[in-house]
Structure 1
Amino acid sequence: MTTHPLTGPQTPGLHLLYVPSVVVLITFQGYFSQYLFNTSPDLRPGPLTFRENAIFNGLLVCLWWTYYRACTIDPGRFLLSPSSDKNDSDKAKPNQSKRFCKKCQAPKPPRAHHCRHCARCIPRMDHHCPWTNNCVSLTTFPYFLRFLIYTNVALVYLSSLLYTRLSFIWSDRHLPSYLGPSLFSLISITLLCLANFCTFFALFILLVTTLKSWVVNITLIEMWELDRHNSLISKISSSANNDYWTDDFDPASLSRIEFPYDLGFFKNMSQAMGTSNPLRWFLPIGGGGPTLADQKKGGLGWEYEENGFNDWEGMWPPPDMEKERRAKHGGWAYKHQEQQERPDDYYYGGNGFGGGEDIKTTFERRQQEDFARKQRVARLQQLQGQSGIIGELEENEDEREWTGKTGWRNSEGDRLWDYGVDEDEEDYVAREVVVGEEDDDDVPLAELIRRRKVLTKQDDNS
């Protein structure tokens, strides 16, 4: 079992315990502490005052309400029209990458990701939080942020109440034990202090991380994508003669892409909180949040304003080299598939079983192809320890097929899987260059077949 700071223990079945665990923790710290303070006269300075009770219980009401909203607000659902795939193709910009979700069987809008827990594409997905059993997304972020804020404020206030009583215990440490607090009171206040410290430490870091990313309008997933992009740029610049990419991708054509959605603090927070009124950002009731726009009208959730730092809009996310390589060639089994689709004269010299020279020429050609394939496999195995690509090659007679995942990990060891993203669902359509038309002779046969299926599907839908 592994543990991630955002997604928690990665053991199947434990997702049913996350929300009840949070409820138990809030109840213990919020109400058992009041029971202890108000019923233990041996704990100085005595029961809570009316003012202390009012403040503490008021914070608890805000905490409960914001947590309920963070758990129950729908994270968003894209409702696509049947012709959306064709419309998206018409709107393609030069070199713009289009994404298609294989599980939703629909185009994927910018900044959306397919959540493996919610089983759908989520607009502006930040991560899936098991402690709320919900995605932190375009529609749920304000409620998640308010929950973190009120929880941290309540924990700070509880810390002040605990500190007051601990200071009296410390000052009376030289008195006889029968004049001090009872054993039950000492054990209880110790457990409360430990729970308060651990909870505040974890949630304060989460609050700072959340604010830090959303103040600049970048999600945790996009931070991961940016780290991967910067890592790839640095690797290409440090080894310009990378044999692995020379056959299928020119490293010189990959330039640095700036993160395009940072519009400034106020615009960023206004977009994230759904209002430009700062007074409503932190209201537990009536604060509201952004809503996913209607597809026909367009707007938030379907498109996002960019800062203009890149050459054109729509360049984010940066290219995933391995996925684009597989999209271009139809997978690692492309060579095997292409050979199966060629006529017999490819193997036997062009006229039945042919003569001896024809068979020899064909054999030498296949031998060269096998040797080139083995070289690519060897380069991949060598690259696994250098570029962060994790995968496995399975050999089935003459077919070698890629069966692993693009498991690049950032400096903290996180993968997209750790944020709740289904890494297998996304199919990258190769970046389009609309300056001129491609020569069909240069396009792999598997890619031509795939394009024909897509066009047929578009015509059926329209």
Structure 2
Amino acid sequence: MGITSLNEIAVPGVYLLIFFLGYPSQVLFYYLDPAPLTRNELYISNVVLVLIFITYTKSVFVDPGTIPKSYRQDDKKEHDIAGEKRGDGVKRTKWCRKCDAAKPPRAHHCKECKRCIPKMDHHCPWTANCVSHTTFPHFIRFLFYTSCGLSWLEYLLWIRIANLWENRNMPAYLGPNPFLVAHLFATTVINSITVFALGVLFIRNVWCLLVNTTTIEGWEIERHRTLLRRARHFGGVLQSPDGTEVPIRKQEFPYDVGIWQNVKQGMGTGNPLSWFNPLAATPSLPSGLTFPTNGFEDASLSWPPPDPDRSYRRPAPSANATPFTFAESALSPQESLAAFRERQLADAVRRRKPFVQRVEAQLARDRDGDGLGDGHSIGVSEGVSEGEMSGDEEEHERGRTGEKDEEGEEAWRNSEGERLKDFGVDEEVEFYDEQEDDDVPLGELLARKRAASGTVY
């Protein structure tokens, strides 16, 4: 079943699941010993059901946000954050090639929503919506009330199951009919699986809230650790696709500013009562464009840290290339712009093979060259593939999940086997969204110049 088909049935399916677990079970309990639900139990069950429906509806239908077109011009400070000097000494800009616009910190391009989402956590297939700066409070409230409601239902179910077990030696005609037993069994199995899955998801999201880390940023943190491990064997540097050596040093995650401030930022308010209010207001979009940092790192550093494999790849110029061309001299301005866009898209990314395969290829070339090869290169390669990596890690780096070699570094997976696209991110756009200033469109460079000089044209 394709992603589109899943999106079409996921939301109605979740509503149906909530209805099935919520209402038929109340009728079921009426016919099962030890007794029907009391008035207070009915109140609790139905109030929690309403809270689940409200919070889920909010998670589905609240807009996950978009980056305003005036983002770069409206905030000079944010202009400085989006195009800042990285640890390798090269000034880079977060630029989305599909949106043709600058990206604020923590924003990512969602392949399902078809746009950049502020503080995107992941695209949830069960809400058919992004969990983002604006939807995260509603999403975590939904997980909270669902975990509470399903746990309450689990408690009521096990009371009836325990009663059946205690009276298992009684004549069958004194117990419930087969239909009621089958209904009880089906409800228990479905509820147990659902409460376990959502409980784990709720705990994970609470942890992310406390440390102010999104799911995607967790992937980036693990990626950074992998690069640090690799760089230790190459004197603290790794090569970019064009051969430039990029220094790799440990960089702390900048957005963890303390538990209280993290929770206030994630929930959109510091009022604990509002955290549990299903009708609480959605966080404002502007607050999702700038984020305070903890100051552990130099202000010139940005997140994610430098990654040599994320740089924009351009093919080497041809020996017969000329600095000028007149092939499009007869085109209209609109046609010239369209041709320019096509050339930008044609300037495709040259994917690189996974790291271990590149090291092994270099090792093979060294050995074929003189029988011994460069001692440093071989020692480093063997140290990476044998000394540092365990068998599982090396197999993981080789692509044990069946990924094709040509998918390169954007196909890198974390320890849980996840890659960027598993979070709903447009992987190729996201992985290669760092551009040097000479790769940024001319109009954007002119806009920066005007913003810096304060000149109005």
Q: TM-score range by the shorter chain?
A: 0.7 to 0.9
Which one of 371, 382, 400 corresponds to residue 361 of structure 2?
A: 382
Asked whether 1:18 is paired with 2:7, we answer no
Q: Report what 2:25 is aligned to.
A: 33
| Alpha-carbon spacing, 1:340–1:455, altered in 2? closer, same or farther (3 Å) | farther
In the alignment, is residue 264 of structure 1 matched against residue 258 of structure 2? yes
Alignment partner of 1:407 is 2:408: no
Shift of residue 85 of structure 1?
10
For the pair 1:419 / 2:398, whether they are aligned, the reply is no
1:81 aligns with 2:70: yes
Which of 275, 286, 290 lines up with 2:283 in the alignment?
Answer: 290
1:13 aligns to what SS in structure 2? helix
Percent of aligned pairs with the same amino acid = 39
Counterpart among 282, 285, 304 of residue 291 in structure 2: 304
| Alignment counterpart, residue 100 of structure 1, candidates 85, 88, 95 | 95
Q: In the aligned structure 2, how far is the partner of 1:85 from the partner of 1:280?
A: 30
CA distance in 1, matches of 2:80, 2:15: 49
Deviation at 1:45, TM superposition (A): 1.6
TM-superposed deviation, 1:288: 2.3
Partners of 1:146 and 1:282 within 8 A in 2: yes
Tell whether the 8 Å contact from 1:63 to 1:151 is kept in structure 2 after alignment: yes
Cα deviation per residue 1:205-264 (whole Å; 9 max; x = unaligned)? Answer: 10011111121000000000010010110111134498855962325x221111000011
In the alignment, which residue of structure 2 is the partner of 1:195?
190
Cα displacement (A) at 1:182 = 1.1
1:414–1:179 distance in 2 versus 1, CA, 3 Å:
same
Change (3 A) 1:55 1:313: farther
Aligned to 2:207: 212
Q: Deviations over 1:5-39 (max 9, x none)?
A: xxxxx64422211111111111111011011112x
Counterparts in 2 of 1:47-446, with a 5 A limit?
47-81=36-70, 84=73, 92-95=83-86, 97-240=92-235, 248-251=243-246, 253-285=247-279, 287-293=280-286, 300-324=287-311, 327=312, 330-331=313-314, 333=315, 335=316, 337-342=317-322, 379=358, 382=361, 406-426=410-430, 427-430=432-435
Cα pair 1:146 1:284 within 8 Å, conserved: yes
Preserved contact between residue 127 and residue 420 of structure 1 (Cα < 8 Å): yes
Deviations 1:39-83 (A, max 9, x none): x2xx21222111111110010011101111111111011112286
Residue 385 to residue 50, structure 1, CA distance change in 2 (3 Å): closer
Alpha-carbon separation, structure 2, partners of 1:120 and 1:308 = 30
Q: Which amino acid aligns with 1:98?
A: T
Does the aligned pair in 1 maintain the 2:237–2:248 contact within 8 Å? no
Q: Retained in 2: the 8 A contact 1:391–1:406?
A: no
Report what 1:347 is aligned to. Answer: none
Could you give the per-residue CA deviations for residues 191-217 of structure 1, whole angstroms, max 9, x where no partner exists?
A: 011011000011001001111112100
1:44 correspondence with 2:22? no
Cα distance 1:89–1:82, how it changes in 2: closer, same or farther (>3 A)?
Answer: closer
Cα–Cα, structure 1 residues 281 and 381, in superposed 2: closer, same or farther, change >3 Å?
same
| In structure 1, distance between residues paired with 2:37 and 2:172 | 24
Aligned to 2:374: none
Encode CA deviations 1:278-301: one digit per residue, 9 max, x unaligned: 12111123x2232111xxxxxx22
Q: 3-state SS of the aligned residue for 2:428? A: coil
Whole-Å separation in 2 of the counterparts to 1:274 and 1:145: 12
C-alpha deviation, 1:416, in angstroms: 0.7
Contact 1:388 1:407 in 2 (8 A): no
Structure 1: how far apart are the matches of 2:361 and 2:433? 25
Report deviation, 1:311.
Answer: 1.7
Counterpart-to-counterpart distance in 2, 1:82 and 1:33 = 50
1: CA distance between counterparts of 2:24 and 2:231? 58
Per the alignment, do residues 244 and 101 of structure 1 end up closer, same or farther by CA in structure 2, a change over 3 Å counting?
Answer: closer
How big is each residue's C-alpha offset from its partner over 1:162-183, in whole Å with a ceiling of 9 and x where there is no partner?
1111111011011111111211
Give the secondary structure class of the aligned counterpart of 1:382. Answer: helix
How far 1:455 moved relative to its partner?
A: 4.1
The amino acid across from 1:263 in the alignment is: V
SS at match of 2:116: strand
CA distance in 1, matches of 2:396, 2:152: 49
Query: In the superposition, relative to structure 1, how do residues 149 and 316 fare at CA in structure 2: closer, same or farther (>3 Å)?
Result: same
TM-score (norm 1): 0.74
Aligned equivalents of 1:340, 1:385: Cα separation in 2: 43
- What CA distance in whole angstroms lies between the structure 1 residues aligned with 2:69 and 2:443? 20
Aligned to 1:438: none
Instruction: Pick closer, same or farther for the CA change 1:453–1:47 going to 2, 3 Å.
Output: closer
Unaligned 5+ residue runs, structure 1? 2-9, 294-299, 344-375, 394-402, 433-446
Secondary structure at the counterpart of residue 176 of structure 2: coil
- Aligned residue for 2:14, secondary structure, equals helix
| Cα RMSD for the two superposed structures | 3.3
Deviations 1:279-329 (A, max 9, x none): 2111123x2232111xxxxxx2221100011122542111232121xx2xx
